[in-house]
Chains A and B, each alone.
Chain A
Amino acid sequence: MIPGGRARRALLWLAVHATAVAIGVMFLAPLAFMLLTAVMTDRQALSGELWPRGWHLANFAEVFGGDMVRWTVNSTVYAGLSTLFMLVSSVPVAYALARFRFRGRGPALVVVISAMMLPPQVTMVPLYIVWARLGLTGTLWPLIVPQLFGDAFSIFLLRQFLVTIPREYADAARVDGCGELRTMLRVILPMAKPALAAVALFQFFYCWNDYFRPLVYADPDHWTLAIGVATFRAAHHVEWNLTMAATLLTILPVLVVFFLAQRVFIQGVTLTGVKG
């Protein structure tokens, strides 16, 4: 042992923890400042003062009227239906890729991963033309309907989870006379609940946060929260307090769900990137 090792270790402990606290504060500061600004009067929000003089909670009520309600409904419809459609279509595909052996399975997986990496902008022009011919541009349907045809990211993530379930379970179900569909629904999927919850959450938040596709397709009646909030400041000129209140209102549901389902979320993220 080096002499003075203990002092050095104590110093290291202090440095590590000081850095941790500093980084933690830096990461929370933007959220804290947003909250403080959201409860200021509009005059004060422009003054560069940091601490609110009085808590104007009425700002939230003012923001959450009119358009904001419609945007929230649109976002919920878009994200909710997309998630439902994605689960119905992607689960059997992931199941097949994970549990059946067939020729072309390898290439199929490679194609799924390539599709996952494909920027949505690449195929956007022809798809827009199709939806325009169908007379559905301006609505949310061009965003929701494609989910009935499987989502590459969800298929990949679910498949990664399903291959880890031992084959013996399915074999046992087979011996008991279960068909393949029953085996999937009754035996395998209940075991895959955390993975299902993770992909559902990812899909929901992906749509909740999506800005590009609603921007291309939706008319102002079908605007989602993401578009509404991006436009908020232009409509409310310099009212930063209201802008921050609106912004916080879009974050809130995400944070609530995250704290309720933290474990599922983090499991899902690591499942995509780790394994090796």
Chain B
Amino acid sequence: MASLSARLPLPGARGGTAAARARRRRRLRILAFLSPWLAGFGLFFVYPLAATVYFSFTRYNLFTLEYVGLDNYAYLLHDRDAWTAMRNTLWLVAVLVPLRVLFGLGAAQLLTRIKRGAGVLRSVLYLPYLVPPVSATVAFVFLLNPGTGPLPALSARLGIPLPDFFNDAAWAKPGLTLLGLWAVGDVMIIMLAALLNVPASLYEAAAIDGAGAWARFRHITLPTVSPVLAFSAVTGVIETLQYFTQPMVAGKVASGRADLPGVQYSPGYPDGSTLTFPQWLYDQGFRQFNMGYACVLALVMFATAMAFTVFLLRRFRAFAGEEAR
């Protein structure tokens, strides 16, 4: 558009001043198009971020505000629950994220090998991703519940006893991992699209050269899908940093407690094993009303998420796709 308006005289264009007027009009038009986002950026990004930094130096419970300097930061160092939350988050980053990426890639690879029924299988694998996370979590707690759940009943009949997933501190995170693998559809679809982008001629040429299945995977498939692998790994980490709904709901449902009047649920059941960082922030900020301290936790989250985002942005050129066609 810009190039065109430079070449074509606009209606009413009369020499230099008119050109300047046109340029100003164009700038205003761009601003008008961008205005919702510019306003939103200020109101919901810049302001709250600055306010978070400010509140992090205060003790604030919505009614009284007191400046306390670095007290909140010092408290973070001694906050056992914050460290538990960090350890749990690291566990999930180290186990859940790689498993999801690998399983997604494996399922996508499997789909490329199937001719008949591939569409059905693709839908079946994608379906669980669409199930609302709360519903999926409630269902998994029940399905894996020993004594009453159908899956332990079934496996007991086969002679393989299952652990008490969501009531045993050692098994709660593996239980959440199973849930995460069930909802692997998003990763799988991205991987599938990447795999289908690999030109078939490459495989044919390699097969003629006598490359085995592993060699073809290692030297053709992997290099072509590696940007997508990196993308889903990094977005997976960022999602895991925000992991809230599933552990919160799993803990509530398994313990039989919820935010009903007169019933309080402290996140992390059983024994803090499902306490994640966002849950601790929620608990401190919106349940205990330690707003200042919650802001410190928010800043820790912000720094971590930004670090991974910067890493992802280095690959930005690769997936921004300027003028693709």
Contacts and interface: CB of A to CB of B under 8 A. Distances in A.
Interface of A: 16-17, 19-20, 23-24, 27-31, 33-34, 36-37, 45-50, 88-90, 92-93, 95-97, 99-102, 108-115, 117-129, 132, 146, 148-150, 155, 160, 163-164, 166-167, 170-171, 174-175, 180, 205, 208-209, 211-212, 215-216, 220, 225-227, 229-235, 237, 240, 243-244, 247-248, 250-251, 254-255, 258, 262, 266, 269-270, 272-276
Contacts of A262: 123
Contact of B130 (A170, A205, A230, A270): A205
26 contacts: A20-B110, A23-B121, A28-B127, A30-B128, A30-B143, A109-B320, A111-B41, A113-B316, A121-B278, A121-B281, A125-B294, A149-B40, A164-B324, A175-B8, A209-B132, A212-B244, A212-B278, A230-B138, A231-B258, A234-B252, A234-B256, A243-B138, A244-B142, A250-B132, A254-B132, A274-B319
B148 to A, nearest CB: 5
A164 B154 CA distance: 51
Given A123-B48, A126-B55, A30 B41 contact: no
Nearest to A102: B30
Interface string B1-29: 11011001000000000000000000101
Interface of B: 1-2, 4-5, 8, 27, 29-30, 32-34, 36-37, 39-41, 43-45, 47-49, 51-52, 55, 60, 62, 107, 110-111, 113-114, 117, 120-121, 123-128, 130-140, 142-143, 147-154, 182, 186, 189-190, 193-194, 197, 227-228, 231-232, 235, 238, 241-242, 244-245, 248-249, 252-253, 256-261, 263, 278, 281-282, 285-286, 291, 294-295, 298-299, 301-302, 305-306, 308-309, 312-313, 316, 318-325
A60 to B, nearest CB: 15
A163 B321 CA distance: 8
Given A89-B37, A117-B312, A24 B125 contact: yes
A67 to B, nearest CB: 12
B47 A126 contact: yes
Nearest to B126: A266
A25 to B, nearest CB: 9
Contacts of A110: 313, 316
Contact of B309 (A88, A113, A128, A229): A113
Given A90-B36, A166-B325, A255 B113 contact: no
A269 B104 CA distance: 14
A234 B52 contact: no
Given A100-B33, A113-B312, 14 more contacts: A30-B136, A34-B143, A89-B36, A95-B33, A118-B302, A119-B301, A126-B47, A126-B295, A171-B1, A174-B8, A215-B282, A229-B138, A247-B139, A276-B321
A273 B256 CA distance: 39
A109 B320 CA distance: 9
Contact of B295 (A20, A101, A115, A125): A125
Contacts of A149: 36-37, 39-41, 43-44
A270 B130 CA distance: 15
Nearest to A249: B135
B123 A33 contact: no
A233 B4 CA distance: 63
Nearest to A75: B132
Nearest to A258: B130
A273 B305 contact: no
Given A16-B113, A89-B37, A119-B242, A275 B138 contact: no
A114 B138 contact: no
A201 to B, nearest CB: 10
With a 10 A CB-CB cut-off, give which of B44, B153, B291, B301 has the most chain A CB atoms. B44
A88 B143 CA distance: 42
A154 to B, nearest CB: 11
Closest 5 A/B residue pairs (Cβ): A149-B40, A126-B51, A123-B48, A234-B258, A96-B33
A120 B293 CA distance: 17
Nearest to B190: A273
A150 B308 CA distance: 23
